[in-house]
Amino acid sequence: MTPVRAYLPRLHSFAVKLALAALIFAVVPVLLYERFSVAEDQRNALMLRLVQEQGRLAGEAVFPLLDQFSPRNAGALNQAVKRLAEDGLSIKVLFRPPTTTGSGNFLLVASAPETSPQEGRAAMDRLASTGVLTHLNASCEGKAPLALRLPLGSDTDEGGDLLTYLTPHATANGCWVVLAAQPTGTLAGQAIGRPYWQAPEVQVAAAIYLVMAVLILSIFTDAWRNLRRFRDVARAMVQGRDETSFATSIHVPELAEVAWEFDAMVATLRRSEALLRQAAEENAHALKAPLAVISQSMEPLRRAVPPDNVRGQRALEVIIQSIERLDGLVSTARRIDEIIAGLIERPRRRLDLSALMGRLGGGYVRLAAGRSITLSLRLASGLVVAGDGDMVEIIAENLLDNALDFAPPGSMVTMELKSEAGQAQLRVTDHGPGVAEGELDRIFHRHLSRRPDSQGTTTEHYGLGLWIVRRNAEAMGGRAWASRNPAGGLTVTVSLPLAP
């Protein structure tokens, strides 16, 4: 068996598929998070550059007015700032005279959206409290970065954090600074600085994914758990606990009909077992009664036929032999029906096969010695199977009886028990006449046993030994087969699955 084929049954396992599904649902968010993080960084960089360019252009647009600023053209500066702020940009133009220094000496000259004097002073106080004016001093000296994200307070007109762009412009009259801010309520303000997983659409998608993962995993889990309940109920039925039922153990409505069908099938099998036993009893009684009458009627006939009547005496012997044969056939048929009925439902329990074979083999050692045959026991210890003790005993007894019947005096019969590939293998070997290669499988059929008699001729028997061996082994999940020995004789092997 190739390694791939060896793992195929595991890949079809429900537990393996459930584990793989859980792994996929766990790995996919991690992969998406990494890709989204990269995309978010790229998006933030792009939006930041867009806002920077917007602020830079706004600053450069008012620079000519700042070079020619005077109280007379202050209105033109206000109109230009208002036009630049129509796209949602917040612009403030600040001025510091050349004779003053410090963050508190900036004056608010123009603002859009437009503010009253009181609001302007409050805005300057907020700028001072957030440290923006400190950056403005550095901007006039050409030392400040062009873009800053500074919190201006939740009570500002802009409504919270602003992405601020500082454009310094020095003139002979003093230092001008154009402060361009992007309110967080706008698209750019929303996009920059906020983690992507805080976006409503991402949160909705994550919630849908989580619900889908839980739903699919719950479907797999429910199906897997109910299949295990099927297994537990079947195991309990095999062990003879009649209070169990498939229908009462299943909680998935779609599997309820399947459970009812299983219960009906089990009930049908039990009725079939009872009917088989009843039919075996009735048929045996119906056939044995006439045979007993015929057998009793033969006594007057034997006395009536003279001893010198050879043909009459021969006819009586043939009739008596036929009656005995019919009686044996009736008993055999009854035994077959009872065996078949017993195979329909047989409890399986943990059985110490090593200990059982040791006790059984010890008794057969003495029996073999009485026939001048040596019985060698090679039994591994600690082998436990799931089965019925009576069925296993019948298997071992039939194997040993069969081997001792064919083994010649002075020979050896070996009974070996070992573990191989998760199976307990019981092997009985004799050194008798053996079986032809083409008959190795047929010897497990009914009524095909041939045994040599004391005169060297062959007498046909209606043996059931090896047929019962195979039927019992298969009923416990195992199998039985025969093979020829290179040194002569026959080996019959029975393989039974080891208990968990």
Based on the domain organization, do 317 and 376 belong to the same domain? Answer: no
Q: What is the pTM of this model?
A: 0.45
Out of 315, 343, 371, a domain closes at 343
The residue range of the domain holding 329 is 253-343
Distance of CA 29 to the CA centre of its chain: 22
Mark whether 311 and 406 lie in a shared domain.
Answer: no
Which of the four pLDDT bands, split at 50, 70 and 90, describes residue 8? very low
Q: What is the per-residue pLDDT for 447?
A: 58
The enclosing domain of 101 has a CATH number of: 3.30.450
CATH number (domain holding residue 360): 3.30.565.10
- pLDDT value at position 197? 65
- pLDDT tens-digit readout, 371-419: 899 999 999 999 999 888 888 888 898 899 889 988 999 999 999 999 9
Q: Is residue 482 part of a domain?
A: yes
Cβ–Cβ under 8 Å, residues 492 and 480: yes
Does residue 58 lie within any of the structural domains? yes
Of residues 231, 315, 165, the one with CA closest to residue 500: 231
Average pLDDT, integer, range 316-342: 74
Q: Is the pLDDT of residue 49 over 90?
A: no
3-state secondary structure 59-100: HHHHHHHHHCCCHHHHHHHHHHHHHHHHHCCEEEEEEECCCC
- Give the domain-ending residue among 299, 314, 343: 343
Tell me 257's DSSP state. Answer: H
The alpha carbon of residue 226 and the mean position of all alpha carbons in its chain are separated, in whole angstroms, by 13
**Rounded to whole angstroms, how far apart are CA atoms 31 and 28?**
5
Are 376 and 290 part of one and the same domain?
no
Same domain, 294 and 383: no
Q: Are residues 95 and 127 in the same domain?
A: yes
Number of domains in the chain: 3
479 HSE (CA, 13 A, CB side):
4
Decide which of 313, 343, 373 is a domain's last residue.
Answer: 343
Same domain, 301 and 416: no
Angle at 294 between CA 290 and CA 298, to 5 degrees: 170
Mean pLDDT of 444-468: 58
Structure tokens belonging to residue 404: 């001792």
Residue 150 lies in a domain: yes
Position 393 in a domain: yes
CA distance 471 to 251: 36
C-alpha to C-alpha distance for 355 and 415, rounded to whole angstroms = 14
HSE-CB at 211 with a 13 A cutoff on CA atoms is 6
Say if 205 falls within a structural domain.
no
Task: Identify whether 244 is part of a domain.
Answer: no
C-alpha span between 337 and 330 (Å, rounded): 11
For residue 109, name the pLDDT band (cuts at 50, 70, 90). Answer: confident
247 is a domain residue:
no
Give the per-residue pLDDT at 493: 93
- Pair 434, 402: CB distance under 8 Å: no
- The three-class DSSP label of residue 479 is strand
Q: What is the pLDDT of residue 424?
A: 92
The amino acid sitting at 314 is R
Judge if 170 and 55 occupy the same domain: yes
pLDDT digits (tens, 9 = 90+) for 210-225: 888 888 878 777 777 8
Looking at the structure, do residues 166 and 266 belong to the same domain, yes or no? no
* 149: in domain: yes
Q: Is the pLDDT of residue 2 over 60?
A: no
Interval 155-196: pLDDT, tens: 344 444 455 677 788 787 788 888 887 765 555 545 555 566
- Pick from 5-9, 266-270, 413-417, 425-429: least confident: 5-9
Structure confidence at residue 455 (pLDDT)? 38
**pLDDT the model gives residue 321:** 83
Among candidate residues 247, 248, 251, 239, the one with its CA nearest the CA of residue 265 = 247
- Nearest Cα neighbor of 401 from 445, 360, 456, 358 is 360
190 shares a domain with 48: yes
pLDDT more than 70, % of the chain: 75
- Clarify whether residues 312 and 371 are in a common domain: no
Q: Domain check: are 106 and 183 in the same one?
A: yes
Task: Say how far apart CA 450 and CA 459 lie, in whole Å.
Answer: 7
Q: For residues 34 and 244, which has the higher predicted lDDT (pLDDT)?
A: 34
Amino acid present at 457: T
Q: Are residues 319 and 354 in the same domain?
A: no
Top pLDDT among 375 and 42 is at 375
CA distances 488 to 404, 463, 483, 484, Å, are 15, 23, 11, 7
